[in-house]
Structure 1
Amino acid sequence: MNIEKRSIDFIPEEERHGRAGSLFTIWFGGNMQVTTLVAGALSVVSGLNLFWSIIAIVLGNLVGAVFMASHSAQGPKLGIPQMIQSRAQFGIIGAVIPLIVAIFMYIGFFASSNVLGAQAISSSFSIPLSLSIVIMGILAFIVAVFGYDLIHAMERYFSILFAIVFLIVTIIAFKFSLPAGSWSLSQFNFKAFMLTVTVTATWQIAYAPYVADYSRYLPSKTSLKKTFWYTYAGTTIGTIWMMILGCVLTLAIPKFLDNSSAGLAKLFGPNFAFIIYIVVILGILAACVFNLYGAFMSITTTLEPFIKLKVTAKNRFWLVFVSAVIGVALALWGYGGFLNHFEDLISFLSYFLVPWTAINLIDYYFLRKGDYDIQDIFNINGRYGALNWVTIISYLIAVLIEIPFMKTSVYTGPIATFFGGVDVSWVVGLIIPVILYYYPSKKKMSLSTYNERLESNKSL
């Protein structure tokens, strides 16, 4: 398998390959990991019983995945990575604003995922944690350098392995006795329910900045519906399964979340515990690769308009290498406690991506209807310009309006406090751009079309 030649550039039709069905395995396998399991377990930790946890997990994922899969459907049509498409909305230079946020998130999530994977390596092979962090970084680096085809192939095989192993785990888990009232409809906690919906919906929306990166090589005639539904099915089935499993195990096994990897290993007994550790390592490796590959793409997109960067094989190697080194350094620095605070920062940064998601989808599906000039996306003097102030101002205002609705461990907004700590900022971040971006942009585009027709008539 060859190293990927393309990066942020357009994928010509003769290089397109694959089928929409491959998107199911990449997002199913990508979510079948211990991090997803732990995220789902937060619902029972926050006060929901199993019945209402399942309802909240299913609801949040089904809603959030609509936005995530809608981004994925853009890939075959445009043939370019997700974040570079932001230039059509923000301008060539203006797109650096959401790109910087995305880079921080990618590197941060890479570092935190690296630590989780390293813990499994350390427990399984009796290797010092610091060395395990370096090993996990090297593995992720190798896969990310090879790129698109290797990532797809890896997830295809991982999906089969994970499905088999976690089916066995699920059968074992549901044989445990659960606390009384686990299936009661009367034990409803609104605050915990909304928290779970928020966590699960934003879990899906967080994939938006790079989901189209894994569909951009598909032939341009690939059905939009197939691209959407294979992505949607893969991400929702994998995530919902793992999150519900996390709830069951947390309720059934005391202190399960203290070391979820070891807790899973105990289910298989000492003779087969090694299998679980390998599955955990591979699952987190996939997450690390996603984030490292995304960091490379976003850094390249950010640098390109300023230094006219051409991504040769050599440049690709060094850009991925530098990204990996920064992530590994953060992991080494932070595994003793820093990452707890760093993850809070990363979660806070995710609020900045929700308005970006809304703007991107409104522009693609309702304003331009998928009609973009790909050459001008790479041309600072083209129709999209350097800065689109309508978009930038709309985006920044939407972020500011989100703040009073936020609820994090480091900050709680006054409106969130008034409603008992319920965080609906992501809903606000999705709605506000409809008003602030859609109508001014539609008027601006109509005026531009009118002027073009006027100039055309004059020339005649």
Structure 2
Amino acid sequence: MVAQPSSEYVDTDTEKEKELSVESSTKGSLSTHDEVPQTEAEPSRALVSRFGPLGPFIAKLFELGVEARGVERVPENKRDSTYIWNNIFMWWSVNTVLTTVSIGVIAEPVFGLPLPVAAATILCFGALATCSVSFIATLGPKTGLRTMIISRFSSGYIGCIIYSILNIITELGFSVLCVVLGGQALAAVNPGTLPLEAGVVIIGVLSLIPCFIGYDVIHKSERYAWIPVTIVMLMLWGLGAKAGFNVSAERQLQATGRDLSADVLSFGGIVFGSFNGWAVVAADYNCRLPANVSAWKIFAMTFVGLYVPICMVEILGAALTSISDTAYVNAYADGGTGGLVAQVLSPWKGGGKFLLVILALSNLLNNVVNTYSAGLSIQALGRPFAKVPRFFWTLVCFAAYTIAGVVGRAHFSDILTNFLSILSYWTAWFVVIVAEEHVIFRRKGGRLGGYNLADWDSPTKLPIGIASLLAVGFGVAGAVVGMSEVWFTGPLGKKAGGLFGTDLGFELAAGFAAVTYPPLRWLEIHYTGR
């Protein structure tokens, strides 16, 4: 069903240009100056003609269903509501995976948090982060743009390049976690028969196919995949309970006072990063929905699709580490999360091994999204990169994270804790800047009154980005003074308490950026007009 223009659009046609205006239900005002409607064939024709002798091969890929459109804006007449409910199902599938279990698993071994405290931390920090992801998701249908390209309207071309580099690192980091953990699980099916590095390569190769093809296949594959994996997760809850969740034993290890606060805040930063990491790609998967789709509907569906499964699975991970049986403790020590899950499933013998394979393959659902968005972020680096087909960058990303996974396979826990903490820092200030631009300056009646969406690739018409870059600088300063990592602890992180300090990085990064961006942006608009 092709979307028809909303009645909210005001038509003031000229011969070759149409101005469309719509007020966002999230208080933003959108206006576009769109050229003559683009046809779906245009991106593919441009790519085929650009690559000369390779043109026929590329054309054949497009005929077979490989997505041609990359970061180009999706015109309104090329959108439909086919995948609107996938805002629940896709995110549910993407997050009901073994990688999500591993985040909850580190609550007790790394931070000394017993199950009740870990669960409360996941629920609270998760709710905050899910709100920010859901807000970014609403901008996809309103703009028809990918997430990184949307950032150009607050941060300009240069700011978008910086965000894109950070996002490439983010998505590749998630991919490394996915392939390593999936490899751990495959290796644990029959210990000693499949090397871990071989499992890493298998997960990487299987992840490649859907994200290579693109948007439609990703949505179709994620629509129902959540069902069997959710059932397996519920089975893990039952088997874990049978093995014996021992909450009282963990309480003996729980810190008190400022030390407990330090542990909660530090783990909370990791939880926030695990949720909020999706904010920097959230619009990528609904930019083909009609502009007149209710923003509150998109917000609510995204919230449910993220919050419910991530909380369920991360709390499951925390619960599994509360099992005090020696066999389970040793399984985690020897084989990480994959080994622990294999031990939980062991009472079912062959059936348990089959379920472990399903869990190992569940990481494909997460990794597909990481790889697809990483390819788009490379295109968002600028026109020279956008001229190269998205599927080529997908291959580059696959090679990068597979090699990194093989090399770093023995250091999963260190990669996880450090990566997710740092991830929470930059995604926090990213969401703050995009949100303030939308709500304060782009709203109806604001200084700019909307988005000229046809300018998405026009550096001279986009903001210079000075305000955003300065706000990012303040955000970095906030992260540095508040962070607590193995390799560095900021002065405020040290003073906040805890044996190893308290990680306040994402809170201070968001706060510093939130306070400084509005006045800086006001001055930028005042002196530049854009």
Retained in 1: the 8 A contact 2:67–2:215?
yes
Cα distance change, pair 156–278 in 1 and its aligned pair in 2 (3 A)? farther
How far apart are 1:172 and its partner, in Å? 2.5
The answer for the alignment partner of 2:103 in structure 1 is 39
- Which residue is 1:330 aligned to? 404
1:242-268 alpha-carbon deviations (Å, 9 max, x no partner): 111111111014245333323323434
Partner of 1:5: helix, strand, or coil? coil
Shift of 1:419: 1.1
Q: How does 1:233-382 map to 2 (within 5 A)?
A: 233-252=304-323, 253-255=328-330, 257-258=332-333, 259=335, 260-268=337-345, 269-304=348-383, 307=384, 309-311=386-388, 315-337=389-411, 340=414, 344=418, 347-348=421-422, 350-369=424-443, 371-382=450-461
Q: Which moved more, 1:365-374 or 1:152-161?
A: 365-374
Give 3-state SS (helix, strand or coil) of 1:254's partner.
Answer: helix
Counterpart CA distance in 1 for 2:416 and 2:294 is 40
Match of 1:107 in 2: 172
Residue 155 (structure 2) aligns with:
90
Structure-2 residue corresponding to 1:160: 227
Change in Cα spacing, 1:161 to 1:200, as seen in structure 2 (3 Å) is same
Which residue matches 1:141? 208
1:26 is the counterpart of 2:103: no
- The letter of the residue matching 2:481 is P
Stretch of structure 1 that moved more, 439-448 or 43-52: 439-448
What is the CA-CA distance between 1:9 and the residue it aligns to? 0.8
CA contact (8 A) 2:276 2:424 kept: no
1:10–1:182 CA distance, 2 compared to 1 (3 A): farther
1:5-24 correspondence runs (5 A)? 5-17=68-80, 18-24=82-88
Aligned residues with identical type, % of pairs: 24
How far residue 432 of structure 1 moved from its aligned partner, in angstroms, is 1.7
Query: Do 1:140 and 1:285's aligned partners in 2 also have CA atoms closer than 8 Å?
Result: yes
**Is residue 71–residue 386 contact of structure 2 (8 Å, CA) maintained in 1?**
no
> Any unmatched runs of 5+ in structure 1?
453-460
User: Structure 1: how far apart are the matches of 2:526 and 2:136?
Assistant: 25
- Whole-Å Cα distance in 2 between the matches of residues 92 and 187 of structure 1? 47
Q: Once the 2 structures are TM-superposed, how far is the Cα of residue 78 of structure 1 from its aligned partner?
A: 0.8
| Structure 1 residues 47 and 309: CA distance shift in structure 2, 3 A | closer
Q: Distance in 2 between matches of 1:255 and 1:366?
A: 54
- CA distance in structure 2 between the partners assigned to 1:122 and 1:368 by the alignment: 51
Tell me the equivalent position of 1:458. Answer: none
Distance in 1 of aligned mates of 2:399 and 2:385: 24
Q: Does 1:127 align with 2:194?
A: yes
Determine the C-alpha separation between the residues in 2 that align with 1:255 and 1:334.
Answer: 22
Q: How far off its partner does 1:89 sit?
A: 1.4
Contact map agreement 1:43 1:193 (CA 8 A) in 2: no
Following TM superposition, by how much is the alpha carbon of 1:150 offset from its aligned partner in structure 2, in angstroms? 1.4
Q: In structure 2, do the counterparts of structure 1 residues 263 and 287 end up closer, same or farther at CA, with 3 Å as the change threshold?
A: same
Q: Deviations over 1:139-166 (max 9, x none)?
A: 2221111111211222222111112111
Structure 1 CA distance, aligned partners of 2:245 and 2:177?
A: 31
In the other structure, the counterpart of 1:390 is 467
1:418 aligned residue:
495
* 1:52-101 deviation line (CA, Å, top 9, x unaligned): 22211111111111111111111111111101111111212332112111
SS of residue paired to 1:208: helix
Q: Which of 61, 67, 72 in structure 2 is aligned with 1:4? A: 67
Find the counterpart in structure 2 of residue 439 from structure 1.
Answer: 519
- Alpha carbons of structure 1 residues 100 and 352: separation in structure 2 relative to 1, 3 Å: same
Aligned to 1:407: 484
What is the TM-score of this pair, normalised by structure 1?
0.89
Quick one: higher RCO (CA 8 Å, sep 6+), 1 or 2?
1
Q: TM-score, normalised by structure 2?
A: 0.77
Which residue of 244, 264, 275 maps to 1:177? Answer: 244
Whole-angstrom CA distance in 1 between matches of 2:137 and 2:236:
30
Deviates more, 1:140-149 or 1:58-67: 140-149
Q: Does 1:214 align with 2:285?
A: yes
* Amino acid paired to 1:70: F
Alignment check: 8 A CA contact 2:471 2:516 kept: yes
In the aligned structure 1, how far is the partner of 2:395 from the partner of 2:413?
21
How many pairs align? 443
Q: Which amino acid aligns with 1:59?
A: C
Residue number in structure 2 paired with 1:230? 301
Superposition deviation, residue 298 in structure 1: 0.6
- Tell me the amino acid that sits aligned with residue 207 of structure 2: A
Over residues 202-242 of structure 1, what are the superposed CA-to-partner deviations in whole Å (9 max), with x where a residue is unaligned? 22111111111112111211110111111111111011101
Q: Return closer, same or farther for 1:359/1:285 CA change in 2, 3 Å cut-off.
A: same
Paired with 1:36 and 1:342, the residues of 2 have a C-alpha distance of 11
Deviations, residues 403-448 of structure 1 (Å, cap 9, x unaligned):
1100112111111111122212211111222221112323544677
Secondary structure of the 1:130 match is: helix
SS of structure 2 residue aligned to 1:219: coil
User: In the alignment, which of 115, 122, 126 is matched to residue 61 of structure 1?
Assistant: 126
2 CA distance for matches of 1:309 and 1:318?
11
